[in-house]
Each structure stands twice: as C-alpha cells, then as structure tokens.
A and B are shown apart, each in its own frame.
Chain A
Amino acid sequence: MSCVLQLDAGGRLRHFLTVEGLGRDWLERIMDTAESFESVAVQKVKKVPLLRGKTVVNLFFETSTRTRTTFELAAKRLSADVLNINVAVSATAKGESLLDTIRNLEAMGVDMFVVRHAESGAAHFIARHVAPHVSVINAGDGRHAHPTQAMLDMFTIRRHKRDFSRLTVAIVGDILHSRVARSQIHALNTLGAREVRVVAPRTLLPVAVERLGVRVCHDLDAGLEDADVVIMLRLQKERMQGALLPSEREFFRCFGLTAARLRRARPDCLVMHPGPINRGVEIASEVADCSRSVILEQVGHGIAIRMAVMALTLGAVQG
C-alpha cells in the first residue's frame, strides 16, 4: 500500500513516506545520492541549482528544531525556496482543517511538503490528497515512521561498517513510542542486517514487535553482546507519569548505556542516538562523547540524506 502511494506508475519515487516496502535498491540509491551531495557542504558556495524555482514547505504540526533545520538547510542547498510553517500556532489552531491548509498552500504553487505530525498516517493522508505534481516527505508521523532519520542512520552505519550482512544492531529504549525505531528496523532488515535486536522493558515494547523481524531482549547486557552497532532512543519524561516506568533512575540502572556495559559489545561498536540526548537517562556522558559515538556525525549526514530524498522525489536527479 505504501509503495503504491510512494512510487508512481513508472517506478519513480514520488513521495517518501516510509522505508517499509521500499526495496534495497531504493535505499542504496538514496544513500549513493546522499554521498554525491556531501561535497556541497564543503564547497565555497554551499549550493547546487537542482531545485531552483521549486518551493518547499516545511509543514510542522509538532515542534522539532533539529529536523526542521536540517530539512530547511537541505532545501536551501538545493536552491529551493523554503517556507517554514509551524501549524500548531497558525491555521489549524483557528479551526481550519488539515486538508484546507494543504489546499491553500498548494494553491500558492508549492512543489513539496515536508510534514511532521503527531498522528500516525498524517503524511500518507496528505500524500493521498495532494496534486499530482506535489511530493510529500514524511518528517515523522506519530509512532509510525521517520524515514529520513532512519536513512541518515543507515548512511552513518554504511560509512563505518560497509557490509550490513555482518552486522548485529541493538536498538535500546522506548520502542513502543518510537517512529525512528520502526523505520530503522525496516531499513536494517531490507539492507540485510544479520540481526536486529530491540532492548527494552515489556512496557516499552509494542505487542508482536518480533513480527517486524527483530529479536527481543529485556536485558541490556544480553542485548549488547557482540553488537556492532547500538542505537539508543530518546526517553520522554511523561513515560514515568503513564506508569510505563517507575523512574528515570531505574531506567538508567537497567537500560542506560555506560562504558562498562558497552564492553559487552564488539570493540569497534558504533554508538548512535537520533538526538536530542538525555545524558544520564539513556546514555552516560562518557559514552555519548567517546570515540565510538557517531551522534554528531549523524546530524551532519541528515542534511545530505534529506537533499538526496528531495532531489529524487522531485525528479531533479535520476532515481
């Protein structure tokens, strides 16, 4: 279903809503394209004219400084005109429907919507209703998907590890509420990772999560055993109020990544986090800042990946 919506009749990537259902060739093409855009960041003039004359709207129904900024930079480096709309404080707050907001912006000649929304399926809904020439990129919807984040993570892993088929990857923390984890799991499985583990207490794991193609661990030490990559997830404070966890302190004691624990993993294990990190809750500072941490690298790769996805969906580069 997602593929029907994402790929057009000619097999071109029209929207980027989820990693799920996209073949390995597509994921590699996105990463290869991102690779070709990396040099733009170190040029004297950090711009290429691929999307000149195109208008990109960052439509954020949920605040997110980092993701919005990287999408904005990516669009600007492709020479697009960019509009940032924080919908939480504009149209829909006045009672306008989501669809009316989209149609009004579309009438202004928009070519692409980058959508962040608190409800799962929001990007799908918008993609189903936009005009044929308009593309939609999912910048995170509910608990469902955050495909560009997953792709920048894969890009970072590939940079360091090359061969996915040898990798054991542990994803640790609040899997239940994480759109990032879902997209990472799909991407890792599509790229042929040897094993994907999810590590969390039962309260932070969705039912039937193993059907996504993961091994479930409730013990961090076991989850880290011989891991090549460990991805820590952000923990929201409200999980304590929702009776999902007793305290941050107990979470850190059981699932926090410390240097001592990291020794269970392979010596060259990458430490990743989609950010922003909670030091002392998910991850100890000594690990967040250690040589194996690629957390800041992930941020940089985010721009190249988002440039790639924008250029591919708008047909500015060959898919």
Chain B
Amino acid sequence: MKLAIVNGLVCDPVAETLTPGGVWIAEGKIVATGSPPPDFTPQRELDARGGVIAPGLIDLSVCLREPGFEAKGTIASETRAAAAGGVTTVCALPETQPVADTPAVIELIRERAEHAARARVVPVGALTCGLGGERLSEMHALGEAGCRAVGNAGRPLANPLVWRRALEYAATYGLTVFVRPQDPWLAAGGCAHEGEVATRLGLPGIPASAETVAVAQILALVADSGARVHFSCLSTARAAAMIGAAATDGLPVSCDVAAHQLHLTEQALEGFDASVHLAPPLRTLADRDGLRRALAEGTVTAVCSDHRPHEEDAKLDVFAATEPGAAGLETLLPLVLALVDEGVLTLPRALARLTMGPAGVLGLEGGRLQPGAPADVIVIDTEARWPIDADHWYSRGRNTPFWGQTLKGKVRYTLVDGRIVHPG
C-alpha cells in the first residue's frame, strides 16, 4: 500500500520545526518527508490541509485493564481510544489480574493488542512477583517476552534493600525501571495533596515529601546500582528539580508528568469531585508551574496520560472511597496543545514531549518522522474544538475531570505501520 499525506505542516520534533509538505509511505514505512519521492504514485492520498503531520504519540503510562478488569476497559477498547487520541504506542502497566509478572501474561497482552491492531502495545513487566514488593520477578524472561521496562506500579517494596537488588537485577538485563515515586509511610491514608484545600475539606493529606523522599531514596540507589530509572507521573516541582540535577550529574535517570498535572491544582478538589481523585494527587499552583517550567526546559522529557479508565461505580462514592485515576488517552494531545496556547511551549516542542521524548526513554524506534522508520503518523487539526462527551469518546472509562468541557486540538488521522487506525 502506497500512501501520501499531503498539504500539511510537517513537524520535526528533533529540529523543532514545522515545514509545509507531506509524508510518503510505502509498505508500512516512511519513504520520504517534505517533498514527494521520485516516481511515487500513491494508491491513497490523505489531505492534511490546515493540519499538522506529526509522529504518532507515545504514552508511557497506560492501564489497559485487560486481563482482569474488563469492566473498566479492554485492550480493544483502550487501544481504540489511543488511536482516537493520536497515540500509536502505549506502555501498558503491569497492574492486571493476574499481574504482568510472567511471560504468559505479557504474551497474552501482546496477542490481544495485535488482534485489536489499533496501537502498538509495549508491556511494562512487574518488578516483583504479584507486585508484592518482596520477591523479584523473572525479569530476564520478561525481557525476552518483549518488555523493555519493569516497574512496581506505585506499589511499595518491602524495604530499600529490595529496591537496591531489584534495580541491580534489572540493570543486568538492560531493563529500564519505571518508578512512581511515593513513600508509602508518608502517604499512608492520604487521598489529596496535604495543603490548604485538603485542610479546609478535612481530607487526609499526602505531603509533597512523600514524593521527594522516594525520589531521593531511588536516586541514591541508582548511584549504587547503575540502573536506568524513569520516574513516572511526577507531581511536585521539587522532585523534577532533584531528578534534573541528578541527570546533570550523569545519573541515567529521566522523568515524565501526566498531562492533567500540568493544568489542574488542589483547587479542583472543591466540592469533593471524585473525578479529580488522582494518584499522585493534584498539587499546588507552584508545583504545576514548576512542572511546566521543567517540561519547557527539558528536565521533564515526556508527558503521559496516566490513563486509568474506571467503570462508573468506581467513582460513585464518597471521595476517599472512590478509586483514584482519570481516563486520559483522548485528552492527552489537547491538554498538551493547550500549553502552546498558554505560551509554555512551542508547538514542535510540545509534540516532541509526546513523541521523541518518550521514545528516548525506552529507546523506541518511533517518535520522529524519518525515512525507513515505521509509518506511525498522525494528522492533527490543532484549531479544531471538540466536546469531551459520549459522542466523541472511545475509552470505556469516562472518568475524566474534563468531561463536559470543550478542548482544542483533534486528531484527524492516525496511522500505525502505514495503516489508518483512526478514523475507521
């Protein structure tokens, strides 16, 4: 199949440029960008007029919910949502039932993803058996089954010695370790940022130090173990600064932030709205602005959705009793594009944080448009406004703080390996 995407602005996240032109695709690979290659007759042409042609987005933090929690979402439903959101690669977190701690579960996820054929799924294996935090998982086998990374999904490890050994063992097999930093003792019982709003609402707090203490501990262990660590879903500006300083000192560390953390603050808790019951919790305005700065400066190299779809009942209870998390695959792109409108990032840099940045964390092939690379490409109407409602939503989880709002920036086409997976 020969395909041409023409008349758009082609985004190069490496050079951070937008250039009028197109992308030409044959046999699932990019053949040329900018100008058409000689003697290329496309079987189909996609008009990108008024839109931006960009690499497919790579999302480092996605719960697909299958196997085990199909009421919340399935690999088919959530990869469909990914395609609608322009996400061509999702890192599937190991919080499944059974936990993704054996090659069998990893293979099941990969097979179902291939069958659904909407997005690439890169499974993250469990760092410890059953995410129990005590016994190491068979990381070599997980690596052979296709995991590039392992993590404990924010669940605590028994003690720092287990952390050290887990990092050392993962490093042996070249696996990146995903860490959601939160000290379990400092966070125990909390459901909101320990600050002014939680004090007023009487919600048990999670202090910012729950994150920074965990980051400090892991950074010390990275120095000992040499493991490559990616900190996921930061919520505090201080943690981003600590990781930035460690990276400058030469430690092999990186970090990302969830898109909602770049917009919402603890103020959103007013009225006990369960849709903003998130983990980590929404922090202060100073944290939000600090994370935005870290993103613009490149300390934070990726934005993820931290996609956590839930069934309706999971959010239909008293705030603290509800399950934390938001469905975010379909709002990821518009929330990052909103940062462009707010002057935080240029458009190419914003797209770099959704493509090249996350690709770099795992050494993935995608994330840029270059001849010879797999044709994971999206066309974005950056000015299109669309309502976040049931008519425009694909995820099984409708648990988003942005439900009912109108956001700007819509995906017109999503291609994976040169196949059009959205719309259609």
Contacts and interface: CB of A to CB of B under 8 A. Distances in A.
Interface in B307-350: 313, 316-321
B317 A125 contact: yes
B370 to A, nearest CB: 49
A289 to B, nearest CB: 31
A182 B320 CA distance: 19
Contacts of B195: 207-208
Nearest to B274: A125
A120 B316 contact: no
Given A117-B318, A120-B320, A1 B271 contact: yes
A143 B272 contact: no
A209 B199 contact: yes
Contacts of A120: 201-204, 272, 318-320
Given A99-B316, A125-B319, A141 B271 contact: no
A142 B316 contact: no
B194 interface: yes
Contacts of A209: 199
Nearest to A179: B202
Contacts of B320: 119-121, 142
A5 interface: yes
B222 to A, nearest CB: 30
Interface residues of B, number: 22
A211 B197 CA distance: 9
Given A1-B271, A2-B271, A143-B204, A119 B199 contact: no
Interface string B184-222: 000000000011101111111101000000000000000
A41 interface: no
Nearest to A126: B318
Most buried by B among A20, A124, A143, A208: A208
A30 interface: no
Interface in A141-172: 141-145
B317 A144 contact: no
Nearest to A145: B202
Given A1-B271, A97-B313, A212 B200 contact: yes
A267 interface: no
Interface in A177-235: 179, 182, 206-209, 211-212
Interface string A1-30: 110110000000000000010000000000
Given A125-B272, A208-B195, A182 B317 contact: no
Nearest to B322: A125
A98 B198 CA distance: 23
A125 B204 CA distance: 17
B270 interface: yes
A82 B204 CA distance: 33
A122 interface: yes
Most buried by A among B199, B320, B321: B199
Interface string B252-283: 00000000000000000011100000000000
A121 B317 CA distance: 10
Nearest to A186: B200
Interface in A113-149: 117, 119-122, 124-125, 141-145
B203 A121 contact: yes
A93 to B, nearest CB: 15
Contacts of B196: 207-208, 211
A99 B274 CA distance: 14
A2 B272 CA distance: 10
Nearest to B272: A121
A208 B286 CA distance: 15
A121 B199 contact: no
A98 B317 contact: yes
A211 B199 CA distance: 9
A143 B205 contact: no
Nearest to A5: B271
Contacts of A144: 201-203
Contacts of B201: 120-121, 144
Interface in B53-80: none
Contacts of A122: 318
Given A5-B271, A97-B313, A182-B200, A121 B205 contact: no
Contacts of A117: 318
A119 B318 CA distance: 7
B202 A143 contact: yes
Contacts of B313: 97
Given A5-B271, A97-B313, A212-B199, A206 B319 contact: no
A145 B202 CA distance: 8
Contacts of B198: 206
A242 B317 CA distance: 27
B160 to A, nearest CB: 20
Most buried by B among A124, A143, A144, A206: A206
A25 to B, nearest CB: 22
Nearest to B196: A208
Contact of B199 (A2, A124, A208): A208
A144 B271 CA distance: 12
17 contacts: A1-B271, A5-B271, A97-B317, A98-B318, A120-B272, A120-B319, A124-B272, A125-B272, A125-B317, A142-B203, A144-B201, A144-B202, A179-B202, A182-B202, A206-B198, A208-B199, A211-B196
Task: Kindly list the 6 A-B residue pairs having the minimum CB-CB distance in the complex, ordered from nearest.
Answer: A144-B202, A143-B202, A121-B272, A1-B271, A206-B199, A120-B202
Given A119-B319, A120-B203, A206-B205, 16 more contacts: A20-B200, A98-B317, A98-B318, A122-B318, A124-B272, A125-B317, A142-B202, A142-B203, A143-B202, A144-B201, A179-B202, A207-B195, A208-B199, A209-B199, A212-B199, A212-B200
